[in-house]
């Protein structure tokens, strides 16, 4: 795992506790976990779109038009559109 030994990992955790503090450490870890999860979701969606375009028999349609699942971007912006409609 990137050449990190147990000793180096322990030093990183101790430095994190000193810099961030024990009160904020769970929040920081939760935020990092959400960011990694969003990155992996976007990566999987991009890989699916590329595979759909490469192996699709119908070339005129784009991968977004062919898929029935909403994209990450459309899910993120759907909440904003709902809020704008409620304001009007």
Output the pLDDT for position 53: 79
pTM as predicted = 0.48
- Nearest of 75, 72, 51, 78 to residue 63 by alpha carbon: 51
pLDDT, tens digit, for every residue of 10-54?
A: 998 899 889 988 899 889 889 999 999 999 999 999 999 888 877
């Amino acid at each position: 795992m990137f050449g990190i030994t147990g000793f180096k990992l322990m030093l990183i955790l101790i430095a994190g506790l000193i810099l961030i503090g024990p009160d904020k450490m769970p929040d920081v870890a939760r935020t990092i976990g959400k960011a990694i999860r969003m990155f992996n979701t976007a990566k999987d969606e991009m890989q699916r779109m590329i595979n759909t375009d490469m192996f699709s028999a119908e070339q005129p349609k784009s991968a977004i038009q062919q898929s029935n699942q909403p994209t990450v971007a459309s899910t993120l912006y759907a909440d904003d559109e709902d809020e704008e409609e409620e304001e009007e």
